[in-house]
């Protein structure tokens, strides 16, 4: 239902293809219709995703997919809002919005295509590029510590923190559906390859490392979640790292909670006259 | 009659409350009142003052000359005694020899210690000073008592009453202040008027980040959030604020953001996004002196060029300079209609002076406010084209989620009619031209500037926004002295309406721009749009608003 015929601008073998497919299947599994869904994206290769799917689209500015998506959800709580962008857009340019989106805990789903490199601008380091990894710009290797989005989200109090993998679209589709169904801000950091610019984190590299969390992992246990969120290198866990019920923003904001979607409120100038009368 | 009472002291001494109490008492008595605040960017200490000007005729600005000074500290007398009128009076709450010898006969010294002792409250001495003011003008104490009851409760009110009686008994009447016939009015400042205009227009979403002097728009709206209802979001920064507002507008609500110059600098990319996505948005920019942090609590009109040009690329916009609280109300309501009709960003350009001064004005007429959403109510079969090419450049706009099978694609990239990314040269050209056509279609909406003055002016002042009050009062005063002066005060300022300007500038022999900035930004805009060059440039950029007296003096000295 969410598929459209549109030529993509991605390189052959790009990890984004798998994520796009996972997203379509995830949405299909929820019985949503395209007009009920809005995808807010920024700028980057990942941010082109909404162009290749049948759903409403707000393809805004680099780094600003979260605030635009938040505005959309606040204006119409009936819409399913998915914020979709890459690691540079979400954790670099939009880092401040990421921090505060977690704190706000609005009912949106944040899909971060994390290929650990800047694709659109041709291969510079992203916030998640490994330390010492060489790029054309960082020719002596990256000097900064990589940002761990999962531990950061946990520290900020996120209620749904997961890691997906582009090459397993069935599991990814299920994960995306679970995130959309979660009431509150849900983060899925989705590992993907960039065959053109990231020659380190290849499909082979990932396949030697990723594994799905077993039933023994209790996502409600913050202690376990922190350990799994920290795990990186030889073994990389996939799936729901942490999940608990939280007070979703819209549920406790009285303006949103006590009213129909703001977009459906009647507008009558005279209704505001009583406020003016307080100045008499 | 035209009197001004200045109340001065250090931040934290309660000048705001006292000024408001005096102003409300005078309003109760039927006077026209203008309350102007001059404050430093600090919470305690420093020197702050409020000026309460009142008359039996409309007062549109502050005056330089002061009739009564209420000095809550010695510094107030030092700083302001030079502005005291010849027969002016000083009320001081400090005992001791701080009053200069030449003022001692005109000074009423209230003893704070006595007031505290008799009232049993340390914080009511200022009330005694206010009642003393009323007595000096021969006005009844009852007006202040009514205000005390509404401001204070219980024992505090009793203590205030005691202090009020002491102050009233301490003075004799020196001035004759006769109130006009009762008239229906509200007492409101520019930011409150903007906020009311937004509420009347059906604004349902305001996102902002606190920045003086724009913050009070958001604060007011937040207080009415549940009642209105309107969602007010304090964003993590101004970038988030404008992007949230754009998201909300895309989703179909009337949305607004507001800030001052520094915050607006962060919003510039979002303005550009509004331009290419054709998302309606109302943006209030309350100017203060720059560059950078500048003078945070003071006033300037130095962001006109910035607001006119902010945002990369070329796209239509409308900039309205707000002139006074009534103008602020009606223009704000109009801004929402035009933003949606032309699917553009509309700017409300105000400044600290207008944001913060409070004035008695006629109640706003809500029957004059109409809400025109300009949304498409039906869509054609087939794919919905958010950027459908039309003669006017205006494409039918729908709200996402409301039409099953219809999707709304908006894109910050150049896009085709459906909103899909493209680099095709022909499409690019047609989309640029589409946006330009919207700008052309907007032109007939422009409101000409307001003309003030005699029928055939020899000297024509051009000014904009909050200089309206001082310029109007100055021009009318000069006309009474038989000076052939007129003024065009621009409200809609970009695109620049030029009909009245061309007509009056033909009659006048001298064109004078009067602005609250150092470079004459309106003069530049006029020259750019009409080729007309101003003969004189009267500019003020010390962070303090032009007063009517300064306008008169500058014109007489440099132009007339």
- B363 interfacial to chain A (CB closer than 8 Å): yes
Neighbour order of strands in the sheet with A56-59: A210-212, A236-243, A160-165, A186-191, A109-114, A80-86, A37-41, A56-59, B409-411
Residue ranges of chain B that CATH labels 3.40.50.920:
450-558
CB B511 within 8 A of CB B5: no
Minimum Cα–Cα distance from B220: chain A residue: A275
CA A209 to chain B, closest CA, distance in angstroms equals: 37
Q: Which residues in chain B are contacts of A92 at CB distance < 8 A?
A: none
Rounded to 10 degrees, what is the CA torsion of B358, B363, B365, B370? 30
Q: Is the pLDDT of residue B95 over 90?
A: no
Task: Say which CATH architecture domain B450-558 belongs to.
Answer: 3-Layer(aba) Sandwich (3.40)
pLDDT the model gives residue B152: 82
pLDDT the model gives residue B183: 96
Q: Is the pLDDT of residue B97 over 70?
A: no
CATH number of B2-169: 3.40.920.10
Q: How far apart are CA B122 and CA B110, in angstroms?
A: 14
pLDDT the model gives residue B263: 98
DSSP 8-state symbol, B421: B
Task: State the first-to-last Cα distance of chain B, in angstroms, to the nearest integer.
Answer: 27
Q: What is the mean pLDDT of chain B?
A: 96
Map residue B201 onto helix, strand or coil: coil
Q: Is the pLDDT of residue A271 over 70?
A: yes
What percentage of residues in chain B have a pLDDT greater than 70? 99
CA A92 to chain B, closest CA, distance in angstroms equals: 14
pLDDT the model gives residue B12: 85
Domain ranges of chain A: 16-277
pLDDT the model gives residue B40: 83
Map residue A64 onto helix, strand or coil: coil
Strands B203-208 and B231-234: parallel
Q: How far apart are CA B231 and CA A74, in angstroms?
A: 8
Q: What is the pLDDT of residues B67-90, one digit of tens each?
A: 999 999 888 999 999 999 999 999
Across the interface, of A9, A54, A100, the residue whose CB is closest to B407 is A54
CB-based contacts of B93, cutoff 8 Å, min separation 6 = B71, B72, B110, B111, B112, B115, B125, B126, B128, B129
Across the interface, of A43, A72, A273, the residue whose CB is closest to B251 is A72
Q: Is the pLDDT of residue B102 over 60?
A: yes
CB A159 within 8 A of CB A182: yes
**Which H/E stretch holds residue A48?**
none
Q: Which residues in chain A are contacts of B370 at CB distance < 8 A?
A: 269
- B231 interfacial to chain A (CB closer than 8 Å): yes
Q: Is the dihedral of CA B366, B363, B461, B503 positive or negative?
A: positive
Both tokens assigned to B216: 């009070």
Q: What is the pLDDT of residues A117-165, one digit of tens each?
A: 999 999 999 999 999 999 999 999 999 999 999 999 999 999 999 999 9
Q: What is the pLDDT of residues B154-178, one digit of tens each?
A: 888 889 999 999 999 999 999 999 9
Helix runs in A168-253, H state only: 169-181, 203-207, 222-230, 249-252
According to CATH, the topology of domain A16-277 is Rossmann fold (3.40.50)
**Is residue B260 classed exposed, middle or buried when 0-12, 13-18 and 19+ CB atoms within 10 A define those classes?**
buried
Homologous superfamily of B187-368:
Thiamin diphosphate (ThDP)-binding fold, Pyr/PP domains (3.40.50.970)
Instruction: Read off the pLDDT of each residue in A260-273 and give the average, rounded to a whole number.
Output: 97
Q: How far apart are CA B203 and CA B559, in angstroms?
A: 45
pLDDT the model gives residue B166: 94
Count of other CB atoms within 10 angstroms of residue B67: 25
Report ipTM for this prediction.
0.98
What percentage of residues in chain B have a pLDDT greater than 90? 90
Q: Is the pLDDT of residue B374 over 80?
A: yes
CA A6 to chain B, closest CA, distance in angstroms equals: 10
Q: Is the pLDDT of residue B96 over 70?
A: no
Identify the residue with better confidence: B113 or B480: B480
Q: Is the dihedral of CA B198, B203, B204, B206 positive or negative?
A: negative
**Which H/E stretch holds residue B315?**
none
Across the interface, of A43, A51, A71, the residue whose CB is closest to B248 is A71
pLDDT tier, B5 (very low <50, low <70, confident <90, very high otherwise)? very high
CA B92-B94-B97 angle, 5° bins: 95
Instruction: Read off the pLDDT of each residue in B250-279 and give the average, rounded to a whole number.
Output: 98
Candidates A69, A101, A108, A255: best to mutate against B (most CBs of B within 10 A) is A255
Phi, psi dihedral angles at A195 (to 5 degrees): -60, -20
Instruction: Read off the pLDDT of each residue in B3-18 and give the average, rounded to a whole number.
Output: 92
Q: Is the pLDDT of residue B332 over 90?
A: yes
CB B401 within 8 A of CB A56: yes
Count of other CB atoms within 10 angstroms of residue B271: 23
CB spacing of B205 vs A40 below 8 angstroms: no
With DSSP H G I counted as helix, E B as strand and the rest as coil, what are the percentages for chain A, rounded to 5?
40, 15, 45
Instruction: Read off the pLDDT of each residue in A246-256 and give the average, rounded to a whole number.
Output: 94
């Amino acid at each position: 239902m969410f598929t459209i015929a549109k030529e993509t601008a991605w390189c052959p073998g790009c990890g984004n293809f798998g994520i796009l497919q996972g997203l379509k299947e995830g949405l299909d599994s929820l019985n949503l219709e395209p007009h009920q869904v809005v995808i807010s994206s920024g700028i980057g290769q990942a941010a082109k995703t909404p162009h290749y799917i049948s759903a409403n689209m707000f393809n805004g500015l680099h780094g600003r997919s979260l605030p635009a998506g938040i505005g959309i959800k606040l204006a119409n709580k009936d819409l399913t809002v998915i914020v979709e962008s890459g690691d540079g857009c979400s954790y670099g340019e939009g880092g401040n919005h990421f921090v505060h989106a977690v704190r706000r805990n609005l009912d949106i789903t944040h899909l971060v295509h994390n290929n650990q490199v800047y694709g659109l601008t041709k291969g510079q380091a992203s916030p998640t590029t490994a330390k010492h990894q060489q790029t054309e710009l960082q020719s002596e290797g990256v000097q900064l510590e990589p940002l761990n989005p999962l531990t950061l989200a946990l520290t900020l109090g996120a209620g749904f923190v997961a890691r997906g993998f582009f090459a397993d679209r069935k599991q990814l589709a299920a994960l995306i559906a679970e995130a959309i169904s979660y009431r509150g801000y849900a983060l899925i950091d989705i590992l993907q390859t960039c065959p053109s610019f990231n020659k380190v984190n290849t499909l082979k590299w990932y396949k030697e490392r990723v594994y799905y969390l077993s039933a023994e992992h209790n996502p409600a246990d913050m202690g376990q979640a922190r350990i799994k969120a920290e795990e990186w290198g030889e073994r990389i866990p996939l799936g729901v790292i942490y999940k608990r019920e939280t007070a979703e923003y819209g549920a406790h904001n009285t303006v949103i909670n006590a009213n129909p979607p703001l977009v459906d409120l009647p507008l009558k100038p005279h209704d505001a006259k009583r406020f003016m009368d307080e100045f008499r | 009659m035209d009197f001004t009472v200045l109340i001065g002291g250090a931040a934290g001494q309660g000048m705001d409350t006292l000024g408001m109490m005096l102003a409300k008492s005078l309003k109760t008595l039927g006077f026209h009142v203008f309350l102007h605040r001059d404050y430093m960017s600090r919470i305690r200490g420093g020197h702050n003052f409020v000026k309460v000007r009142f008359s039996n005729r409309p007062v549109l600005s502050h005056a330089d000359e002061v009739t009564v000074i209420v000095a809550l500290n010695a510094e107030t007398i030092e700083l302001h005694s030079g502005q005291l009128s010849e027969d002016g009076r000083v009320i001081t709450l400090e005992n001791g020899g701080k009053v200069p010898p030449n003022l001692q006969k005109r000074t009423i010294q209230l003893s704070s210690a006595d007031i505290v002792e008799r009232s049993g409250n340390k914080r009511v001495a200022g009330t005694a000073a206010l009642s003393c003011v009323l007595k000096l003008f021969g006005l009844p104490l009852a007006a202040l008592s009514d205000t005390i009851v509404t401001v204070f409760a219980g024992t505090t009110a009793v203590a205030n009453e005691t202090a009020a009686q002491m102050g009233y008994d301490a003075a004799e009447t020196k001035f004759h202040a006769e109130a006009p016939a009762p008239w229906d009015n509200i007492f409101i400042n520019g930011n409150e008027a903007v906020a009311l205009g937004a509420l009347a227009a059906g604004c349902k979403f305001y996102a902002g980040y606190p920045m003086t002097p724009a913050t009070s728009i958001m604060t007011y709206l937040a207080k009415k959030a549940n009642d209105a209802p309107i969602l007010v979001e304090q964003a993590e920064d101004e970038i988030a604020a404008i992007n949230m507002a754009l998201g909300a507008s895309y989703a179909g609500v009337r949305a607004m953001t507001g800030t001052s110059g520094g915050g607006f600098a962060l919003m510039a990319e979002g303005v550009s996004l509004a331009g290419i996505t054709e998302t309606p948005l109302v943006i209030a920019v309350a100017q203060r002196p720059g560059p950078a942090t500048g003078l945070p609590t003071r006033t300037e009109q130095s962001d006109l060029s910035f607001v006119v040009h902010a945002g990369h690329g070329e796209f239509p916009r409308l900039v309205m300079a707000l002139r006074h609280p009534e103008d602020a109300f009606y223009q704000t309501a109009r801004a929402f209609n035009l933003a949606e009709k032309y699917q553009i960003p509309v700017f409300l350009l105000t400044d600290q002076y207008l944001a913060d001064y409070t004035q008695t004005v006629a109640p706003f007429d809500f029957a004059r406010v109409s809400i025109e959403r300009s949304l498409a109510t039906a869509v054609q079969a087939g794919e919905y084209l958010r950027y459908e090419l039309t003669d006017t450049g205006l494409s039918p706009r729908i709200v996402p989620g409301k039409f099953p099978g219809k999707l709304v694609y908006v894109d910050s990239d150049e896009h085709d009619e459906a909103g899909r990314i493209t680099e095709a040269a022909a499409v690019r050209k047609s989309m640029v031209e589409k946006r330009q056509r919207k700008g052309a279609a907007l032109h007939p909406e422009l409101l000409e500037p307001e003309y003030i003055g005699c029928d055939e002016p020899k000297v024509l002042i051009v000014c904009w926004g909050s200089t309206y009050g001082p310029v109007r009062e100055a021009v009318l005063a000069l006309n009474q002295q038989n000076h052939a002066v007129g003024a065009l005060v621009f409200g809609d300022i970009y695109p620049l309406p030029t009909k009245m300007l061309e007509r009056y500038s033909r009659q006048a022999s001298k064109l004078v721009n009067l602005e609250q900035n150092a470079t004459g930004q309106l003069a530049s805009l006029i020259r750019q749009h009409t080729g007309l060059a101003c003969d004189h440039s009267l500019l003020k950029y010390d962070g303090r608003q032009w007063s009517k007296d300064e306008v008169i003096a500058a014109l007489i000295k440099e132009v007339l």
